[in-house]
Chain A
């Protein structure tokens, strides 16, 4: 549904986007992660046909954002990282205006406005001036606007920024519903734990380049060479700690009561062998597991924290 191919965007000597490529399938939520200034927003703006690439291209449902922006605009919904609104306009008028701007007429327009306002649960606030809305409600309104023409692709730039926990959870649920409806969704966020919950695939971008892309598990597997192992013993934790320090490839052993953590190769074969050796040494083991890495760990592992 979305194909970004060798995308470059330079601002003078600044390479904001430098050879970015990825794909998003129908009904897929693609998380776009990166530090500030990494090139996320520029890439999204190019996909939304607001900006043009210096070279490369991107295709939405087969249409080029460079050559066919008019066609692309009919099938994308874009939610920017800022809420752009007009004075003296209420919620219904705001959404109705964009429905008209997308060429919806008559009953189709009215039902589209009702549909999106109901979906975002704003129907009770139709007559409320936008200035009086909370941040969460404004984000919902912005999502309504982006969805008014029932686009196949949604590009959401930091939609959860500034939202309270409840509003974030509600937004996440809305996005899951949209994906279930078959829409391809590109979403950027700084709240990585949330992205991990709703994204099947992520792309990590730094200094304008994609440093890792694919399903979260696959990126973890690719980038993880050392795992943090956690074991719990029944007794004799000092003895176990000493035994571990003598083992090859074991580092940073730390004991805290009956819990011991240490670094060990992420290779599951090696972990299995270590467990076998522990059994043979008759250590009083209660549990043995590799600590689950989350998206934040992956992000920290693959990025270097450089900014341009």
Chain B
């Protein structure tokens, strides 16, 4: 007999559990797929146990065979947690879109975040059930020697994190399209990716099982783990936020939170790079190159989506613009729009260029004074010149993409994915066409760099590496190209900023019904300026 107090607490707790989790758990417990996978997992584990023991024979008493058994169990578990659970999470959300149950869900009081979290939690519950099924077998491997508890725990924790990450990625993938044909294609992509991840995880587990004990004693290992966990958490947050924004109502703000996560991701990367730069060998500038290239790559990918955000801000979003001009100045770049998106990327790219230049300045001019044994490796100014060129190319192609998207939007709508594709195609053309002509015109051993290859970032940056000079045309021309596309994009960017300013200053009033509700009588907003209203309907 359960005491009434505990019953009351259980009811209280049950009411506060995510409704999606409650529904999905109820469904899972009745589904054949869940029962089938669970039974299959148990059966496979039993087969591994009996088969392994029979194969090893009497030697099991003195041979350290725990590691082998562990990897075999891991392979069984990997199928369940790397394929079945993430694909189940993907299908669960994709089916909501296909069957149009998501529409009904979206008009309840559940937020898109609650829907995503609910789906993820139900996947995690399934993971734990599969883990619990295989836990006795894992304990069995420890008794067989050849693997220690720390190694088992380490691999299982990463397996769990991997499964959660795959499930989250599956949920994001499910939001990409509501069309059945696209869902079929995405299912194939998902299954292939998960299959490859599962196949790859088993040899990795094998390697780790043998090596992990020794590696764990190295302090750098834990530093690397900390960096990995940071990257995992922040990337997870980004994927989650992207899923939520995909499911958010069209007139709501789909962009600001994604931009906040991107900025945090950038700052985290910057912090780790800074730390690595400080602890690296004096004068070693590889960290700077890696940071610059990774930073440019990161903003090239994310920027290509941001520049194709829908033009115009809904009245609902406009009402969120801060009235205070100082707050508005700091938060303006986080509001949706292709112009603010491009400006957002530009600020971060400039940040990369400035920091690398500052780091190299410190290495060349300050460090030798502070530490007499300091010796710079490579040519002076190389990192700055390379970074300036990389940053300029990134912005040039993004800006060009933004102009093309704007042009195409005069005739037809362009979704962000198409905008990203347009930018990628432009970058590919700019990079490949000059090289194609070089290859067609000259034999391989005469193929030297020609100036008209300037649109190709790869070969141009390679040239800068060999002849680094910040004032060389190879650096100045890409900077000028970036400046030119900035100038061409400037009117659009300025218009968006002006609109944000106007909307923030005038606190746009929403449209009102003919008969106002009685409780709304006090909620009177200042009059709407005609200019701001006009910009809302056609901001570009």
A70 nearest CB across to chain B (Å): 7
On whether the beta carbons of B537 and A93 are closer than 8 Å, the reply is no
Fill in one digit per residue for A45-84: 1 if any B CB lies within 8 Å of its CB, else 0: 0001111100101010110101111100110101010101
A88, CB-defined interface residue at 8 Å:
yes
Q: With A and B bound together, what is the CA distance between A87 and B110 in angstroms?
A: 21
Q: Which residue of A lies closest to B523 (CB)?
A: A62
A288, CB-defined interface residue at 8 Å:
no
Known contacts A3-B513, A80-B100; decide if A89 and B26 are in contact (CB<8 Å): yes
User: Counting chain A CB atoms within 10 Å of each CB, which of B11, B27, B104 scores highest?
Assistant: B104
Q: With A and B bound together, what is the CA distance between A99 and B517 in angstroms?
A: 27
Partner of B26, one of A12, A50, A51, A93: A93
On whether the beta carbons of B109 and A103 are closer than 8 Å, the reply is yes
On whether the beta carbons of A93 and B15 are closer than 8 Å, the reply is no
Which B residues lie within 8 Å of A62 (CB)?
513, 515-517, 520
On whether the beta carbons of B104 and A84 are closer than 8 Å, the reply is yes
A100, CB-defined interface residue at 8 Å:
yes
On whether the beta carbons of A80 and B103 are closer than 8 Å, the reply is yes
Q: With A and B bound together, what is the CA distance between A145 and B516 in angstroms?
A: 29
B434, CB-defined interface residue at 8 Å:
no
On whether the beta carbons of B537 and A87 are closer than 8 Å, the reply is no
On whether the beta carbons of A84 and B510 are closer than 8 Å, the reply is no
Q: Which residue of B lies closest to A109 (CB)?
A: B15
A85, CB-defined interface residue at 8 Å:
yes
On whether the beta carbons of B511 and A101 are closer than 8 Å, the reply is no
Q: Which residue of A lies closest to B509 (CB)?
A: A67
B108, CB-defined interface residue at 8 Å:
yes
Partner of B251, one of A3, A69, A73, A93: A69
Which B residues lie within 8 Å of A88 (CB)?
26-27, 30-31
Known contacts A67-B316, A69-B251, A73-B109; decide if A84 and B19 are in contact (CB<8 Å): no
Q: With A and B bound together, what is the CA distance between A87 and B26 in angstroms?
A: 10
Q: How large is the interface on B (under 10, 10 to 19, 20 to 34, 35 or more residues)?
A: 35 or more
On whether the beta carbons of A70 and B109 are closer than 8 Å, the reply is yes
A144 nearest CB across to chain B (Å): 13
Known contacts A61-B517, A97-B22; decide if A74 and B109 are in contact (CB<8 Å): yes
Partner of B104, one of A5, A12, A80: A80
Which A residues lie within 8 Å of B104 (CB)?
78, 80, 84, 98, 145
B99, CB-defined interface residue at 8 Å:
yes
Q: Which residue of A lies closest to B15 (CB)?
A: A105
Q: With A and B bound together, what is the CA distance between A101 and B19 in angstroms?
A: 6
Partner of A64, one of B22, B100, B511: B511
A102, CB-defined interface residue at 8 Å:
yes
B348, CB-defined interface residue at 8 Å:
no
Which B residues lie within 8 Å of A50 (CB)?
103, 106-107
Which A residues lie within 8 Å of B314 (CB)?
52, 66-67
A109 nearest CB across to chain B (Å): 7
Known contacts A48-B107, A50-B106, A73-B109; decide if A59 and B513 are in contact (CB<8 Å): yes
Known contacts A49-B249, A62-B517, A106-B15; decide if A89 and B27 are in contact (CB<8 Å): yes
A17 nearest CB across to chain B (Å): 15
Q: With A and B bound together, what is the CA distance between A52 and B537 in angstroms?
A: 14
Fill in one digit per residue for B407-421: 1 if any A CB lies within 8 Å of its CB, else 0: 000001000000000
Known contacts A52-B251, A87-B27, A89-B27; decide if A67 and B19 are in contact (CB<8 Å): no
Which A residues lie within 8 Å of B108 (CB)?
73, 98, 101-102
On whether the beta carbons of B109 and A93 are closer than 8 Å, the reply is no
B256 nearest CB across to chain A (Å): 17
Partner of B103, one of A74, A84, A89, A100: A84
Q: Which residue of B lies closest to A2 (CB)?
A: B513
Fill in one digit per residue for A87-126: 1 if any B CB lies within 8 Å of its CB, else 0: 1110001000110111101100100000000000000000
Q: Which residue of B lies closest to A105 (CB)?
A: B15
A72 nearest CB across to chain B (Å): 9
Q: Which residue of B lies closest to A148 (CB)?
A: B108
On whether the beta carbons of A82 and B100 are closer than 8 Å, the reply is yes
Fill in one digit per residue for B224-256: 1 if any A CB lies within 8 Å of its CB, else 0: 000000000000000000000000011110000
Which B residues lie within 8 Å of A89 (CB)?
23, 26-27
Which B residues lie within 8 Å of A73 (CB)?
107-109
B105, CB-defined interface residue at 8 Å:
yes
B362 nearest CB across to chain A (Å): 51
Q: With A and B bound together, what is the CA distance between A73 and B108 in angstroms?
A: 6
A152 nearest CB across to chain B (Å): 11
Which B residues lie within 8 Å of A82 (CB)?
100
B331, CB-defined interface residue at 8 Å:
no
On whether the beta carbons of B250 and A52 are closer than 8 Å, the reply is yes
On whether the beta carbons of B510 and A67 are closer than 8 Å, the reply is yes
Known contacts A55-B537, A93-B23; decide if A67 and B319 are in contact (CB<8 Å): yes
Q: With A and B bound together, what is the CA distance between A87 and B33 in angstroms?
A: 12
User: Counting chain B CB atoms within 10 Å of each CB, which of A67, A76, A78, A105 scores highest?
Assistant: A67
On whether the beta carbons of A66 and B515 are closer than 8 Å, the reply is no
Partner of B11, one of A23, A93, A106: A106
A93 nearest CB across to chain B (Å): 6
Which A residues lie within 8 Å of B315 (CB)?
66-67
Which A residues lie within 8 Å of B517 (CB)?
61-62
A262 nearest CB across to chain B (Å): 45
Q: With A and B bound together, what is the CA distance between A109 and B314 in angstroms?
A: 35
Q: With A and B bound together, what is the CA distance between A235 and B286 in angstroms?
A: 113
Which A residues lie within 8 Å of B9 (CB)?
none
Interface residues of B in 110-130 (CB under 8 A from A): 110
Q: With A and B bound together, what is the CA distance between A3 and B515 in angstroms?
A: 9
Q: With A and B bound together, what is the CA distance between A100 and B520 in angstroms?
A: 29
A238 nearest CB across to chain B (Å): 59
Q: With A and B bound together, what is the CA distance between A278 and B512 in angstroms?
A: 58
Which B residues lie within 8 Å of A52 (CB)?
249-251, 314
User: Counting chain B CB atoms within 10 Å of each CB, which of A23, A50, A89 scores highest?
Assistant: A50
Which B residues lie within 8 Å of A103 (CB)?
109
Q: With A and B bound together, what is the CA distance between A150 and B249 in angstroms?
A: 23
B101, CB-defined interface residue at 8 Å:
yes
Which A residues lie within 8 Å of B365 (CB)?
none
B530, CB-defined interface residue at 8 Å:
no
A81 nearest CB across to chain B (Å): 10
B12, CB-defined interface residue at 8 Å:
yes
Known contacts A62-B516, A62-B520, A69-B251; decide if A84 and B109 are in contact (CB<8 Å): no
B514, CB-defined interface residue at 8 Å:
yes
B31 nearest CB across to chain A (Å): 5
Which A residues lie within 8 Å of B107 (CB)?
48-50, 73, 76, 78
Which B residues lie within 8 Å of A101 (CB)?
19, 105, 108-110
Q: With A and B bound together, what is the CA distance between A52 and B254 in angstroms?
A: 15
Partner of B511, one of A67, A93, A102: A67
A189 nearest CB across to chain B (Å): 20
Which B residues lie within 8 Å of A74 (CB)?
109
Q: Which residue of B lies closest to A101 (CB)?
A: B108
Interface residues of B in 477-534 (CB under 8 A from A): 510-517, 520
Q: Which residue of B lies closest to A70 (CB)?
A: B109
Fill in one digit per residue for A112-151: 1 if any B CB lies within 8 Å of its CB, else 0: 0000000000000000000000000000000001000000
Can you list 23 contacts pairing A with B, beta carbon distance less than 8 Å? Answer: A3-B513, A49-B107, A50-B106, A52-B249, A61-B517, A66-B251, A78-B104, A80-B100, A80-B104, A84-B99, A84-B101, A86-B23, A86-B101, A89-B23, A89-B26, A93-B26, A98-B104, A100-B15, A101-B19, A101-B108, A101-B109, A105-B16, A106-B11
Top 9 closest pairs, chain A to chain B, by CB? A62-B517, A100-B19, A59-B513, A101-B108, A88-B30, A105-B15, A67-B510, A84-B101, A97-B23
- List the interface of chain B (C-beta within 8 A of A): 11-12, 15-16, 19, 22-23, 26-27, 30-31, 99-101, 103-110, 249-252, 314-316, 319, 412, 510-517, 520, 537
